[in-house]
Amino acid sequence: MISVPTPGTPRKLWRTVLVAWMIALPLMSLSLLTLPSSALAALSLDPNMDKTWKRTDQFVADGKVSRSWVWGPTVFNIRSEEYEGSPAWGDVPAGQRLVAYYDKSRMEINNPSGDRNSKYYVTNGLLVKELISGKQAFGDLKTVPYLPAEVPVSGDSYGNPKSPTYASLNSVASLVLGQNSAFNRSGQTLTSFLEREGGPQEDLRFASYNVKASFYDNTFGHNIADVFWTFINSQGPVLENGQTVNAPVIDWLFSTGYALTEPYWTVSRVGGTEKDVLIQCFERRCYSYTPSNPAAFQVEMGNVGRHYYEWRYNTPLPNCRTAPVRGFGKLWAENPSVKQRISCPFPYQTEQSTKVVTQRFERGQMIFVESSSTSYFLPYLKTIFILFNDGSWATVQDTWNNSQPESGGLTPPPGLFEPKRGFGNAWRNETGLNVRNRLGWAIEEEVGSDGAVQNFYNGLMVWIKSRDEIFVGYKYYNRTPVWETYLDTFEG
């Protein structure tokens, strides 16, 4: 097992009651979660992985069929990745799994002692879901919050400003059941257009391509374009048990998964040329339809495997003009994932001392910060941060003053408390946020403390001396703000 030092230990990371994803280990540098290059060189492609590739793509590589790659021309990286609960196997240590990256996806073996005759002995992960949500999987029940991938779904990776990225799909994708579902539009012509910024809009220009909604996938509630549904259900020569047979090329749920988005027309730059491209993303793959391509290559699988690998391992850290100091600086410098997500401190704004009040609730907590200046993240001089156990947070103004009653006179259950003063006002009166129902009763009286606060481009940090903790709040345009807390390990 590889030993990875962690300078800051997170107390809470995106705990949600809607899904059973619990993060139990410290948030670590994603670049440190891989084997050293010497160990990577010893790993090789599992025979079942090679068999899976040959089933569809050997014929493409040999030029015997004209169709799009299912995996890609060759594996470009074989490695072991952290995966909680995986047993030791050959050169792969316990807590790691063997994975192989191809352009279109990633093959993985989670249970090396499983049935090698099962098609699920080799699986391909929910890479698209991770790219859109920003949650990287490190086990069946373990995810690490990161940034949704700012990588174009289709077309050139650079110089392609109009094409939507995976992050662009964050606000329209169904990452949980019941989210962003669509009506059944079977038979209707598809004219919905999506750019990198902003929501979908109808553009009748795309009606000329005569692409229609063909199949309604009611799992998440999305229509599948007829060009994609035809491709998913296409048959052709494949290699099975050493024999060439005519069979389905794509196994829908195994290689594609359920639809996460509607089909959207986009304008993508491909090889430096702008083209109309229809895209649709599923749990495991994204598809593109380019009407101007030769017929055999109008429908293609996106380079999800390549995109995911670059996002997970090669995302550059921001180069900042200034750096935070003391506890904020130690946390920021020693946790590249935190630095990547929260970005740089605001120029010429250092941390400021402040008074902090905290109170824990049954399903979250509140933090009061008295600031000497306002900003996007500290909108009021007296700001209350409301932290929910689903990982989201919101801010409200503290409007309480001495002329108002301290509490609402409610009787809490034994051992619990009614919040008072500013916390009480927010708890009782912020009905739009449903604060009282979401937080529950307080489990302690409020606690005052010295503290500090500093703003960053993508959020802020608050130091709470009485808890020896640092609250980190992340906030991005058009996305749900998320939070976590770390032990303050700075000494001095």
In which residue are the tokens 């939507």 written?
Answer: 164
Q: Please determine, for residue 20, whether its predicted confidence score (pLDDT) is greater than 70.
A: no
Q: Please determine, for residue 37, whether its predicted confidence score (pLDDT) is greater than 90.
A: no
At residue 390, the pLDDT reads 86
At residue 478, the pLDDT reads 60
Q: Contact 143/134 with Cβ under 8 angstroms?
A: no
Average pLDDT over residues 51-59: 95
At residue 346, the pLDDT reads 85
Q: Please determine, for residue 200, whether its predicted confidence score (pLDDT) is greater than 90.
A: yes
Per-chain mean pLDDT for the chain: 87
Q: Which of 68, 73, 93 is nearest to 83 (CA)?
A: 93
Q: What percent of the chain has pLDDT over 90?
A: 67
Q: Please determine, for residue 315, whether its predicted confidence score (pLDDT) is greater than 80.
A: no
Cα within 13 Å of Cα(199), Cβ side: 6
At residue 130, the pLDDT reads 95
At residue 42, the pLDDT reads 62
In which residue are the tokens 């996305």 written?
Answer: 479
CA distance 147 to 124: 21
> Could you read off the pLDDT of 116-156 as tens digits, one per residue?
999 899 999 899 999 999 888 999 888 887 888 989 999 99
- How many residues belong to the chain? 492
- Among the residue ranges 1-15, 197-211, 323-337, 399-413, the one predicted with the least confidence is 1-15
Residues 52-60: contacts with CB within 8 Å, 24+ apart?
52/107, 52/122, 53/102, 53/107, 54/239, 55/238, 55/239, 55/240, 56/238, 56/239, 56/249, 58/239, 59/236, 59/237, 59/238, 59/239
> Could you read off the pLDDT of 86-114 as tens digits, one per residue?
899 888 999 999 999 999 999 999 999 99
pTM of the model: 0.69
Q: Which of 457, 454, 455, 486 is nearest to 471 (CA)?
A: 486
At residue 410, the pLDDT reads 94
Q: Please determine, for residue 414, whether its predicted confidence score (pLDDT) is greater than 70.
A: yes
At residue 67, the pLDDT reads 92
